[in-house]
Amino acid sequence: MSIPLNNTTKDKLLEAAVRVLNMQPRASLADIAEAAGVKRVTLHRVIGTREELLRDVALRALEQMDEACYSAVKGKRKAFEQLKAIVGALVPYADSCHFLWKNPDVWDDPEIAREIKRHDQELCDLIDRAKAEGDILSFIPNSWIIASLDAVLYAAASTAKAGNIATNDASALAIQTLFGGITKKVKGTALAGA
């Protein structure tokens, strides 16, 4: 059981855990503690076991995604504009999203599974609204759109992390790439079913 101590220390540990585990999924708690600049005993005192660490990282990722998405859609009425805003807002949190994609065993936790299901349903509902409003081709499956969103987010984040482009530019490019590929009109191309 984790002990609620200094949020700064816990945040530092969770941020280090995301970085380390995304690069080395089997990294030890000692590796994570070292990356956070603390002793392993501190990690155990603040977080607890490896299972508790993975659970805390997953719940933090879902919370970050919620905050970013809800903040991004404020004041936007059309579903398509909300989707674009969400993509741009999630690029800075792509490491956390990536952790969830790479660690499906954390989905066995009932709370995490419930939250992921809620996230997926909210995203599908938003995509369905954008389709109904005529901004997204209706014949493209939601699962394809979500997989494309995940891939573009990962590409944007990894390119920004490598220092090749700024995060704001990566967000703009993610929006352009994803939505330029699924809008009704693709330059010089007529898509089947449009």
Reply yes or no on domain 59-182 having CATH 1.10.357.10.
yes
185 φ, ψ (degrees, to nearest 5): -110, 120
Reply yes or no on domain 1-48 having CATH 1.10.10.
yes
pLDDT band at 6 (very low <50, low <70, confident <90, very high): very low
Q: Rounded CA gap, 113 and 107, in Å?
A: 5
Whether the pLDDT of residue 175 is over 90: the answer is no
- Residue 146 near residue 101 (C-beta atoms within 8 A): no
- Other C-beta atoms closer than 10 Å to the C-beta of 94 total 25
Instruction: Express each pLDDT in 117-130 by its tens digit.
Output: 999 999 999 999 99
pLDDT band at 2 (very low <50, low <70, confident <90, very high): very low
Instruction: Express each pLDDT in 60-103 by its tens digit.
Output: 989 988 999 999 999 999 999 999 999 888 888 877 877 777 77
pLDDT band at 188 (very low <50, low <70, confident <90, very high): low
In the chain, domain spans: 1-48, 59-182
140 SS3 class = coil
Average pLDDT, the chain: 84
Q: What is the pLDDT of residue 182?
A: 52
Q: What is the pLDDT of residue 103?
A: 76
Q: What is the pLDDT of residue 179?
A: 83
Q: Taking the model in full, what pTM does it have?
A: 0.76
- Other C-beta atoms closer than 10 Å to the C-beta of 42 total 17
